Each structure stands twice: as structure tokens, then as C-alpha cells.
Structure 1
Amino acid sequence: MVSELCFSDLPAEAGQGWPRGGEMVGITLEVQALQSYSLDPHYAKGLHAWFLSQVEQTHPRLSAYLHDGESEKPFTLSRLMGPFREQGGRQVIPPNTPFQWSITGLNPEVVDWLWGWSQRLPAWLELRGSPLQIRGWKVLFPPRTYSQLLEQAPSSGSCSLSFVSPTSFRHRGHHLPLPVPKNLFHSYLRRWNDFSGLPIEVDLFLDWVDREVTIQRYRLESVKTTAGRQGSVTGFIGCIQLAASPRMPELLRQQVQALLQFAPYCGTGHKTTFGLGQTRLGWLAAERVSTPRASQEEQIAERIQELSTLFLSQRQRQGGSRAEKTAWLWATILARRESGESLEVIAKDLEMPYETVKTYAKLARRATKNYQSV
């Protein structure tokens, strides 16, 4: 189980004890607000944008790769973790209260950049009009190499994982909010094969996992949340215990254990750069797993689902991904507009022209009125 982190009042330079090197690492920053802030339900996108802007300032080539690379992303970002309050259906950060924000790197270039950045952290994390003071940092997951994970994989046949933020998989155009072993390991294997230089044969490995890795116990809860550019995600949080059958060849069981040790670094499922899929080793206490969720965020996610179903049903040709994408886009714009967000903010988040978003909002509103008048 991951031990609790302890921060002092020292500045960011207090974290200089991290030895340089490694092919993966995880760090966590302690931040605080000097006054009370009400967070936008989509604030994870702001954390993502701020992180990439920090990379761009010092390493433009790496920034371009993180922005545009078509492979797996070699980093993950958590959402803010701490004692949120709720006011008017929104998460509120109380003043002078420590919160944590975690970052992992999955290849040497990102790890090296994190090492240098951690030695000269900015004083503030600028989060959409809610500046947070950076008070310090600590190593969350120690620097390791992929060969170390493989060579030092524990021999035990069972392991527990805790999913401390909503976790989901893409499955046939939908979200799969269940930790099916084959999906879990496919998620880890994609990152491993992209970054390790020690490829594992995908089909053979996953066939064995499907037959011989089982869930021994679980404690899970399904949740809806907003993530990324548009739409909502149905995910799960909680804990599971996995076991690999002794019938698996020794090398494959070693690979299973290595990937489980890799899980906290790479996260689980999709949208791990927007705070989803945060994973820890061990069976964590319920209060450490159930991350605070703003009721407004859940309401927006539910409203997006409701509206997208409505818009899709109104289209004469319901088949195909284009119809589904349009329905989700209209639903996202209208649901966020109904929650009080400006069209300017929505357009910026969705990276769309303002006039297009304005037109879609009108069309979506008209579609709901037509439905209500029927």
C-alpha cells in the first residue's frame, strides 16, 4: 500500500533528494489557495493545459511531441486531491488547505524534464482564475526502469489495485466501467510496449490473461464524470484483488506482475492525462479511494447523456459514428451552457470557432423545444 505523503513548509527545492535518472517516475505537488475558489467542473482540462505550457516554455520539441504524438502519451496527470467543500453544487477549494496534484513520466525524456522542472518549480499554478500556490513536492513513485520492473517482479500470484479516480475503458464505441482483467492488462500493455523497449507479444499474453487471471474480490462503485474535450464518462472507483493461475507459464506470470507494478505509473484505462484512471498498489481504505465529486459535475454528465440520446433519436439516419459524434457535441455544448458556462469558454475548451459553438447551441436548444412541444 502506498504510504501517506508528508509535506513540510519548505519551498519546492526541498525535493532535491530525488536521484536523477530512471525511465519512469511519479511526483506529487502540494498546492493551496490563499482564498476560497469554486472550481469549474472541467478544471482537469485547465491542469492539462497548464502542464503542457510549462513543458513548452523550456522544451519546445518535447512539448510538440506531447501535443501531437500519435502514440500513447508518456505522462499522466491526476486531478486535485484533498478536502473539497461543496457550495451551490460545485467543488470549492477552502483557503490555506493543502491539496495534492500528481504527475508521472513514462519515458526518459519526460522523466529528465520532470527532474529539471522540479528543481525550479514556479511559485503558482495558474488554474483559470483560481491561482494555487505551489508549496513543495515529493516523489510519489520512485524512479525505475522497465527492466527493473520485469526483473524484480514479485513472485506472489495475487495483487490488489485501488482505482482512486474514475476509471473507464473504450469498448466498441462506448465506455466500459468494469475492471475486466483483459481490458486492464491491455491498457498497461499498450504503454509498456510503446515505451519499454521490452515488447510483450500482445495476442498470446492477453489470451492467457483472459483464461488465467481472475478477480478474487472487489469493492467498486460506478460514477459519472466529465473529462477531455466533450461528453461524459461512466467509470468506476474502488479496489480489486487479482490472482494469476499457476498454470500460466513462468515468464507470463512475471510479465503480469511487472505490469501490475507499472499500473500506478501509467494509470488505467483512457483519459489518464485528464485525471482519470489514477491507480495505486494495495487495497486502500475507502476514504482514500472515494475522491470528492461535485454534484454539478455529475449532473452535467447525466444531462449530456440524456440530451445525446434525445438528439440521436431525432436524426433520421441514426447509424454511424458521425451521427453519434454530432449528438454528443450538441449535448455537451447545451448541457454546459445550461450550467452557466459562457459560449466563449466552451468554444475554447472544445477548440472550436465561437460562431460554430453558438450555432450548435441554438440548434440544440431548438431541438429540445421541438421535442417538448410534441
Structure 2
Amino acid sequence: MPHSLILNLLPLSPVSPGYLTGRHLHALFLTLVSSVDKELGNYLHEAAADKAFTLSPLQTKKCPFKKHHFLQWEHSQPIPEHTLCWWRITLLDDSLFGKLTQLWLNLNPSKPWHLGPTDLLITKILGTPQVDMPWANACDYSQLYDRASDTNRAIAFSLATPTSFRQGKFDSVLPTRECVFNRLLTRWNKYSGIEISPLSLDALFPSFVNIKTEVTSNYHSNFIGVVGEVTYRILGDVEPLAIKQINALADFALYCGLGRKTPMGMGMTRRIFVKNSQD
């Protein structure tokens, strides 16, 4: 079962921008894991690629249900003390959530965790959809698949943090159908236990693109990605099974994100719903 968890955080002193990078938040996550399973924390630290979790940048703003809603991926000023923040963690592997059960069950809201020199309190964990929080959710892989529409031909994504795709030795910021859906397919087949055969994407066409390039310096070198919205439509004579599989992968994007550096806050993606087409 993939989980998308929202942790509500309260810093007890100002948080410097230098400690709000993806690298520092990645280290905080590994600290949380190691507090209940040191061996698992070491394993996740050493995993070179295709990690079974994603993280968001630290957020200080509320997140209403809006069609277009970019998140904060950089902070130019310190976050003041006692500023309510939220941070998302997704877990793709069924066993990973289970191994961290003791962390969720025994969470002490008065125990501080460290982000650089700043103490943070975890005041609440949300794991189900909320009126003002579309990023929290959990769903069995079998339910994700069973609930996927076999008639909806409109597939739209909101790219909320900079998103970039590796192609060979280099990066590309264009969310082509191959980059998007082959990435989703690879991760789905690795973690879901419900095999989807390689898809023919010949009937899938971008029908609307509203993206812009962003550069973030949160890494050793500048990371260039795009944020915005992209919509694909399934055109022509396509079997319902293929439509269902494409929809299942689109729904899965909420949990696995798209592109590179998803364990560092990049590629946060969620599906948005637009008018269907039966073309």
C-alpha cells in the first residue's frame, strides 16, 4: 500500500535556509527511520537509486485544493520560530510503512527532532485526505488498480515542484509521454505486485501544456526543472484495458512523483481532473 503522509512540524527556533535543502530533509527522514530501525535507516541511506520513498520540501503555507498550486522548493529567508510547517513523506513499499509503525504509534509530540541546529516538534501526522490538504492519502495497490477508469481519456498532472527527467547521460525538462509514463510504469511494477506489461503510448498525445522552467540551487549544482500543468489525451481506438492501466499509473503519480530527485523534494506531482473526451 503506498502512503502519502503529512507531518505537521513546529520549529522551536528559526530555521536557516541553508538547512532547508533536499539534502538536509533527506537526512532528517533517515534519522526518523533509524530511531526505530537503525538497520533500515542504513539500508535506505546506502540505496543508490530508485528509493522506495519521496519527500517534499518544507512548506509554510496552507495547501488548498486548487487546480494550479506550486509548492515552495526554496526559502530565501529563515523560517521564524513557532511557524506551523508541513512536510510530506511518501512510502511506496508495503513493508516500509509496517517497519515504521512504531514511529507513528509512539510519536511523542514533545520530543524534538533536529534539522541542523533547529529543534522541530512533530505535532501531528495525517495519512488520509483532508479538506485543505490534497497531498495526504493512502490506498492499496489493488484498489488503485480496481478503481482506475477504463473510459477516462483525459490525463492531467500538476507538477508542483521542479521536475526533470534523465535521458541517457543527460537531463531533459520536457514531460514527454515516454518520460512520464515509462517512469510511472517502472515504479509501479517494482512496488505494486500487479504487473502491467509495457504500454504502447502511440495513442497518448499532449493536448495542453502550461509549464515554466525553474532553477533551484539546493544541490551541489543548479537543478533545472519545470512546474505547471500538462494534459494528455488518449485518442483513437484503444482497448479499455489499456485505458484503465494508463489511468492507474496516473493516479499512482501522487505517491511516486515524476522524474529525478524525488527523495530530495523534486518532481512532486498529483493528478488533476479535467473534462473527459471520448474522441
What is the TM-score of this pair, normalised by structure 1?
0.62
Pairwise CA distance, 1:181: 1.3
Partner of 2:22: 44
User: Distance between the aligned counterparts of 2:233 and 2:144, measured in 1?
Assistant: 18
Equivalent in 210, 218, 243 of residue 219 of structure 1: 210
Q: Distance in 2 between matches of 1:57 and 1:133?
A: 15
Does residue 133 of structure 2 align to residue 142 of structure 1?
A: no
Count of matched residue positions in the alignment of Structure 1 and Structure 2: 252
Structure 2: distance between partners of 1:91 and 1:186: 38
Matched, 1:170 2:153: no
Change in CA separation of 1:223 and 1:71 when aligned onto 2, cut-off 3 Å? closer
How far did 1:40 drift? 0.6
- Cα distance, 1:43 vs. partner? 2.3
Change (3 A) 1:55 1:41: closer
* Bigger fraction of residues in strand: 2
* 1:187 pairs with one of 171, 183, 189: 183
Partner of 2:46: 68
Deviation, 1:283, is 6.6
Comparing 175-184 and 114-123, the one that deviates more: 114-123
Q: 1:278 to 1:125 in 2, by over 3 A?
A: farther
Which stretch of structure 1 is more off in the superposition, 215-224 or 124-133?
A: 124-133
**2:78 aligned partner:** 92
Seq. identity, %: 29
Find the structure with the greater CA-based Rg: 1
Match of 1:231 in 2: 221
2:82 corresponds to 1:82: no
Kindly indicate whether residue 103 of structure 2 is the aligned counterpart of residue 117 of structure 1.
Answer: yes
- Larger mean CA deviation between 134-143 and 171-180 belongs to 134-143
Secondary structure at the counterpart of residue 44 of structure 2: helix
Q: Which runs of 5+ in 1 are unaligned?
A: 1-22, 285-374
Distance 1:63 1:95, change over 3 A: closer
Structure 2: 5+ residue stretches without partners: 63-74, 128-134, 275-279
Asked if the contact 1:40–1:90 (Cα under 8 Å) also holds between the matched residues in 2, the reply is no
Change (3 A) 1:56 1:133: closer
Alignment of 1:358-369 (within 5 A): none
Query: Counterpart amino acid of 2:173?
Result: P
Residue 160 of structure 1: how far off its partner (Å): 2.0
Question: Partners of 2:38 and 2:101 in 1: how far apart?
Answer: 17
Superposed CA deviations along residues 86-118 of structure 1, whole A, max 9, x for unmatched, are xxx833212322111000110111121344322
* Structure with higher helix content: 1
Identify the match of residue 279 of structure 1 among 269, 276, 279: 269
Q: Which has the higher contact order (CA 8 A, sep 6+)?
A: 2
CA deviation vs aligned residue, 1:29-70 (integer Å, no higher than 9, x gap): 111223333211762211111211221232234324323345
Could you list the per-position Cα deviations for residues 300-351 of structure 1 after superposition, in whole angstroms to 9, with x for gaps in the alignment?
xxxxxxxxxxxxxxxxxxxxxxxxxxxxxxxxxxxxxxxxxxxxxxxxxxxx
Retained in 2: the 8 A contact 1:239–1:283? no
- C-alpha separation in 1, matches of 2:190 and 2:48: 11
1:145 to 1:168, Cα distance in 2 relative to 1, 3 A: same
Q: From the superposition, tell whether residues 246 and 110 of structure 1 become closer, same or farther in structure 2 (CA, over 3 Å).
A: farther
Q: How does 1:262-341 map to 2 (within 5 A)?
A: 262-282=252-272
Give the drift of 1:170: 0.8
User: Is the CA contact (8 Å cut-off) linking 2:126 and 2:136 kept in structure 1?
Assistant: no
Task: Say which is worse superposed, 177-186 or 55-64, in terms of deviation.
Answer: 55-64
Letter in 2 for 1:217: F
Query: Once the two structures are superposed, what CA deviation does each residue of 1:144-173 show, in whole Å capped at 9, x if it has no partner?
Result: 222221111023111321111111111232
Whole-angstrom CA distance in 2 between matches of 1:114 and 1:141: 17
Of the structure 1 ranges 112-121 and 124-133, higher mean CA displacement relative to structure 2 is found in: 112-121
Q: C-alpha displacement at 1:277, in angstroms? A: 0.6
Contact 2:163 2:259 in 1 (8 A): yes
1:121, distance to aligned residue in structure 2 (A): 2.6
Find the residue that maps to 1:91 and give its secondary structure.
coil
Kept in 2: contact 1:43–1:127 (CA 8 A): no
